[in-house]
A and B are shown apart, each in its own frame.
Chain A
């Protein structure tokens, strides 16, 4: 039966594209990751545990994942508002703002880091007034947070934008004529319809922030245990020729990231099943 089905497949090229897909994914992603795991096997479980449970490693992981998640949440909220303004209103400069959203995509992250550091340094344009209020941004974890927000913005905007554009304004009119006020229309109709896209945007912004290196190390101050991100710690270990240490941290980052993305994916699938495509 499956032989018949295979012979009768109407769309040709399955064998070729599937083969290419598998080999490409293997060469580009799976083999390097497998190498990472193999390298970490050089460590005994005890050594592995010692590296991970050291205070510096734990703090670095906490800083990386904690701030990345917080930044992704801020991006989710602000990104949604930006999308709303860009999609729903016509105003002078709209196209310009729309283009500006992509700047964090294109800008070399080191440039972004230097610019943000200059801006938020104690004598910087934004740093000075904030310092007067007693808030230090540059060379503190807050700086890492700011950099992670910066690089995450386009991910939420660009994933939600097409979905909001496709959302029929008639469903808002329907909600209104059924007696819903603006708030009820947003919370009961619009947001649930956007939920899958919002979750995707959140996951992408989070993943990007966890992996961010270039912009963060400039603004972070990189104080061990305080403002040192896990990717930086990996680089430090490498420069000390402690390769096994570096891979151990890398493996943990990989596993945690994978679990988080998988979880968000499941959540998104669940939301998607409630909002089936038309």
Chain B
């Protein structure tokens, strides 16, 4: 099943939630919509699900016009951030709900419904909880039940709205892996919304980065991390050092001082220089494009993170390997192994 969205526009009052969004998701893909809150990612998901309606644009599911149908007819599995389980029903009845409300002509008989629910509870590895009520489950268990419930109706596509947003960090990591392997197993075309870049990069086949109701970049997790298409994407994904620079006559200047960096093909004017923290290599004073004084150093897992005051007064944070000797007060040279410059 493919999903296609064309020129989608949605406003809430004077707020433009979606400002001309085009997206195509191929059959069997697992796509992440990534962006800060207010970027329009949840609105986009809700419109695809039929829970919201756009002001303009088209939504096609498997080539058919989905906007002509309500949420009921679209056959879309939707998983909510806060689970939205039915509190007065057991886990079993929650999962069975979608099967029980089917029109009489297509409804399965009780034995078939039981078998199907059992199968789904096995799939999410929670069959031992079938008689419990949602309030008796942990957050991670609730979300897996919510997923089983959404899958019960054999949805054409699966949409997940911040599925792990309400869970603690450890459970979140477990469920990420689990979701990826589950997707591998059932292979239903899926879109999930997240504001957590790590989650998007780890789980998805393809990442759609959104900001202010527009799509900034669509690409594989490697693409969006390694070759960000815009200043926003570079700043949003991965830890970045951002420096305001000017490009003039083929030279990049930071606070008036020229930097020993290539400026080929750059438009003149005010720009922003982005470097990943770990791409800033430490050398002896005088080497590299920048010079600075180390303010303090903290060990941070596999790296040490140093706060460095550059000679023009701006303070940046860099990540250096643990074996590199760095002490507060050292004067060091810094050379960006890789960098990108965006106009504006």
Contact = CB atoms under 8 A, between A and B. Distances in A.
Contact of A179 (B85, B86, B98, B135): B98
A278 B97 CA distance: 20
B170 interface: no
A178 B82 contact: no
Contacts of B135: 276-278
Interface stretch (B68-76, B119-127, B204-212, B299-307): B68-76
Interface string B50-71: 1100000000000000000011
Interface in A227-278: 274-278
A170 interface: yes
Nearest to A276: B135
A179 to B, nearest CB: 5
Contact of A178 (B88, B136, B149): B149
Contacts of B328: none
A46 interface: no
Interface in B83-106: 84-89, 97-98, 100-102
A189 interface: yes
Contacts of B74: 177
A277 B87 CA distance: 8
Contacts of A170: 80, 82, 84
A193 B88 contact: yes
Contacts of A94: none
Interface stretch (A115-123, A126-134, A180-188, A210-218): A180-188
Q: Is the interface of A mostly helix, strand, loop or mixed?
A: helix
Given A175-B97, A176-B71, A278-B135, A189 B86 contact: yes
A178 B101 contact: yes
B133 A173 contact: no
Nearest to A182: B72
A179 B88 CA distance: 19
B84 A276 contact: no
A275 to B, nearest CB: 4
B164 to A, nearest CB: 16
A205 to B, nearest CB: 23
A174 interface: yes
B150 interface: yes
12 contacts: A171-B84, A173-B51, A173-B84, A175-B86, A175-B97, A178-B101, A179-B101, A179-B153, A180-B72, A180-B97, A181-B72, A278-B87
Interface of B: 49-51, 70-72, 74-78, 80, 82, 84-89, 97-98, 100-102, 133, 135-136, 149-150, 152-153
